[in-house]
Structure formats: C-alpha cells, structure tokens
Structure 1
Amino acid sequence: MRMHNADETCGIAQAAMVLGDWWNVLVLREVARGHVRFDALAAEIGLSRKVLTERLGRLVAHGVLHRSLYQRRPVRYEYLLTDSGAGLLPLLVAMQDWGDRWVLGDGSLTATAEADGAEHARVHALVGTRLPDLELPGVRGADLPLVSPDAAATVLFTYPGTGIEWGSIPGAAGCTLENRLFRDTWPDFRKAGADIRGISTQLVDEQAEFALSEGIPYALLSDAAHRLAAALRLPTFRGAGRLRHKRLILVADAERTVRHALFPVNDIPHAVERSLRLAADCARAA
C-alpha cells in the first residue's frame, strides 16, 4: 500500500498498516478469546488455510503475535499475543463498543441492554463454555485467577465502577449497593462453598480504596487492560472517561465452566439473591 508522506508520522495510519484488513482484526479477536491454534482459528473465522497462513505471517512479522511450538511431530504452533498485541485489546473492545452502540444499537448511551439484543445473545452464549485461564490484578497486590481455587463455585460480577456520579446513563448507578449486598451475603456464599469475584475496569488503587472503606471481604479484580472484556466479548459502555463493564453476573464451577449468566441486571437485590441460589446449586452438584 502506497502511503502519503504525512502518514509516516501518523499513528493512526501506522496502526492501520499493521491491522491491514478486517481478517487481521478477526484473527486478533479470536486469539484474544483463546483460540490460539491454527485449526481453531480457521474454524472460528471461516478463513481458508492459505489466507489464514498469510494473515498470521503478517501479524507475526509486525510483532503483534508470536509463534510458540506445542507439538514437534508434525510441527504445530500456537499464536499468542505479544506485549504489542496485548496493547491492541483496548482498541478491539472500543470497536466492539462502537459496533454495539452505533451499528447493532440505536446510538443510545446505556449501561444496560435489551433482552433481544446482540449483547444479550453474546453473554448468554457463554453458558457451557470455559472461562479463560486468566489472572487479573487484585487489590492486595497479586494477580488472581478468575475462578477461586478453593471453591466449588465462583460468582463473577462485573460492574461499571464505584464512587462515580453516573448522571443520566441508564443502568450505571448501583455499584456500591451491589458490592454491599454481596459483602453482606458473603458468609452465605462461603457456607454454600462459593466464592465471589468483583470485576471492573477501575484501577487497582481505586478498587483498593473502596474495598478498605467498605470492608469488602472478597476479591476485587481490575480489568483496566480489557483482557477479560476482549476474551469474553463482554458488553461495555463509555462513561466517566473510560470504557466500563456493563453489569452482569456469571456463575462458574471449579473447572471454569460457566453454568449460569444473569444479564442484563436491572434488579440488583434480586440478582444477588438469585446468584447465591445458583452458586449453591452449582456447588452441591460438584
């Protein structure tokens, strides 16, 4: 592709050169979702082997992906994100957010969703799938897995953010209430053999301050780098200067399989009560 001289100093133009076309974007989307082997990528995207080989080669050459050998006979590679590639995750999430709002939606800024919309379909399609083997930064200074290693079931709830005036954005308010309700029912979750993970795109120090002031006993994890949002294609919205998770609840078993999904969450007290019942059922079935 021939570029105008002015494009040599334009970051947008240079990024577009790396991304190339929509196939490259979809390859990165699927790698972020955990489909890192050739056959899995071909199946998910529907690309011919020739075209996929070309796209993977270009992304490796640009330093966005690197190949990791996992089988010698015959030789087979996994394609993993480099630091440069991980830096594209916020871009992928922003593209999804834009598509959800302006292409699949009516352009309204909202922190909730319609029951028959694309976001609803994506979240509920997670039931029966395995969560990624992913660790996120926690408020106590260590990265923690999505699923608690000492619980038969784990409840993951995503929320927009605490300590923020949300104004007129539908569905955004209630994060402090939700955390307090999970805090107050924490003994019941533990008695049932379940753990809780609260996840937002707030920074770790913001979460730590809130956890200390509110006496939050369960782990709060930061998805500020959008690794989880990209891996699960989670619904987001832009508020208070940042992409935020929409409120949802997933119940996973000890093998990281999603057993239940609650979305949209409009009645927070009811959703917390229901997640306790679902988590207890999941733990008993383990």
Structure 2
Amino acid sequence: MRMHNADETCGIAQAALVLGDWWNVLVLREVARGHVRFDALAAEIGLSRKVLTERLGGLVAQGVLRRSLYQRRPVRYEYLLTDSGTALLPVLVAMQDWGDRWALGDGTLTATAEADGAEHARVHALAGTRLPDDLQLPGADTPLVSPDARATVLFTYPGTGVDWGEPPIPGAPGCTQENRLFRDAWPDFRRAGVDVRGISTQLVYEQAEFARTENVPFPLLSDASQQLAAALRLPTFRGAGRLRHKRLILVVDVERTVRHVLFPVVDIPHAVAESLRLAAACAHST
C-alpha cells in the first residue's frame, strides 16, 4: 500500500496498515472469540483458503498473531493473539460499539437495548456456545468459570460509584443495587451449588475497594482490557469517559457452555431471582 510521507509518523495510518481491510478485522474478531484453527476460521468467516492463508500470514508477519503447533502429522497450527494483538481488542470493541449505536441503531446513547435490535439477537445467540478455554480476567486470581461449582452466573454491569453526568444515560443506574442483591442472595446460590462472578470494565483496585466496602462475597473481575467483550461480542456503551458493559446475565455450566441468557436486564430484582432459578436448575441437571 502506497503511503503519503506524512503517514509515516501517523499512528492511525500505521494501525490501518496492520488492520488492512475487512478480512483482517474479521480474522482478529474470530480469533478473539476463540476460533483459532484454520478450518474454524474459514467456516466462521466464509473466506477462501487461499485468501485466509494470505491474511493469517500477514497478521503473523505484523506481529499481531503467532502460530502455535498443535498437531505434527500433518502439521497444523493454532493462531493466537500476541500482546500486540491483545492490545487491539479495545479497538475492535470500540468499532462494535460504534456500529451498534450508529450503523445498526439510531445514534441514541443507552445502557440497555431493544428486544428486536441487533444487540439483543447477538447476545441471545450465545446460548449453546462455549466460552474459550483460555479466557480469564484479572481480579482476585479467580477463574472466569468456577471449577468447583455445578454452574456459574456471570453478570456484567456498567460500574459502581460512577458519576454519569447530565443527562443521565438510560439503563445505567443500579449497579450497586445489583451487587447488593446478588450479595444478599449469595447463600441461596451456594446452597444450589452455584457460583457467581460480577464483571465490569472498572479496574481491579476499583472493584476491590467496592467489594470491601459492600462486603461482596463473590469475585468481581475486571474486563478493562475488553477481552470478554471481544470474545463474546458483548454490547457496550461509552459513559463517564470509559467503554462500559451493558447489564446482562449469563448462566454457564461446568463445561463452560452458556445455558441461559438474560438481556436486557431492566427489572434487576427479578433478574437476580431468575438467574438463581435457572442456575439451580442447570446445576441440578449436571
């Protein structure tokens, strides 16, 4: 690609060289989702083997992906994100956020979603899918899915103790209430053999301070690097200067498969009670 001399010192232009085109972006999207083998990538993207080989080779050469041998006869590789590639995840999530709001929506800034919208369809399509094995988030040195529980409830929320400014963002308030409701129901979750994880894009120390103040008994995990948002294509919105998760609840079984999805979450007390009911039933069936 020919570049103007001024582009040599432009970070946007240099990043555009790496992302390249539509296909490179989709390859990175699928690797982030856990589709790391050639055949899986080809099937998800619908790309010819020749073009996919070229794109993967280019992304490896750019240092965004690395190849990892998983089979010797015949030789087969997985394509994994490098540190450089992981650093691109917030860019992909920001692109998705822009697309959800402006290309697929009417430009309204909201922390909830319409039942007939693209975000609703995308999130509910998670039911039956498996979370990537290597997907972990920082916070309390805790795995994303509990290995000791028969089911795990993952609930995402915009953030606690946030000054949203004026005008208020529809669907954003209530994060402290939600954590308190899960805290109060914690004994019932444990009796059912279910674990709970709260997730936001707040930093680890912010969550740790909140957990101490509110006596939250379950782990709060940080998705500040947008790994979970990219892996599951979770809906986000920008509020108080940060890209934040919209509120949703996933019930995940011991095999890391999403069994139930609650989204959008509008009636928080009902959603907490419903997640307990669904997770208890899931735990009982395993």
After TM superposition, the score normalised by the length of structure 1 is 0.98
**What's the offset of the Cα at 1:255?**
0.7
CA displacement 1:206-237 (0-9 Å, x = unmatched): 00000000000001000000000000000000
- Mapped partners of 2:198, 2:18: distance in 1: 35
Deviations 1:1-59 (A, max 9, x none): 11111100000000001111010000000000000000000000000000000000100
Cα root mean square deviation, aligned: 0.7
AA paired with 1:135?
A: Q
Distance 1:79 1:149 in 2: 26
Q: Which amino acid aligns with 2:284?
A: R
Matched length: 283
1:86 matched to which residue of 2? 86
Separation in structure 2 between the aligned mates of residue 162 and residue 192 of structure 1, nearest angstrom: 27
Q: TM-score normalised to the size of structure 2?
A: 0.98
2:137 aligns with: 136
Q: Which residue of structure 1 aligns with residue 186 of structure 2? A: 186
Deviation at 1:115, TM superposition (A): 0.4
Q: Helix, strand or coil for the counterpart of 1:25? A: helix
Q: Describe the superposition over 1:75-119 as per-residue Cα deviations: whole angstroms up to 9, x where unpaired.
A: 111000000000000000000000000000000000000001110
Give the 5 Å matches for 1:8-23. Answer: 8-23=8-23
The match for 1:5 is 5
- Contiguous gaps of at least 5 residues in structure 1: none
* 1:166 shift after superposition: 2.6
Q: The residue matched to 1:255 in structure 2 has which SS?
A: coil
| Partners of 2:60 and 2:252 in 1: CA distance | 34
Corresponding residue for residue 157 of structure 2: 159
Residue 170 of structure 1: aligned partner: 170
Which blocks of at least 5 consecutive residues in structure 2 are unaligned? none
**2-side partners of 1:131 and 1:267: how far apart?**
26
**4+ residue stretches of structure 1 with deviation over 4 A?**
none
Return the letter of the residue paired with 1:222. S
The alpha-carbon deviation at position 146 of structure 1 amounts to: 1.4
Q: Distance in 2 between matches of 1:18 and 1:284?
A: 48
Alpha-carbon shift at residue 165 of structure 1 (Å)? 2.3
Mapped pair 1:114 → 2:114: yes
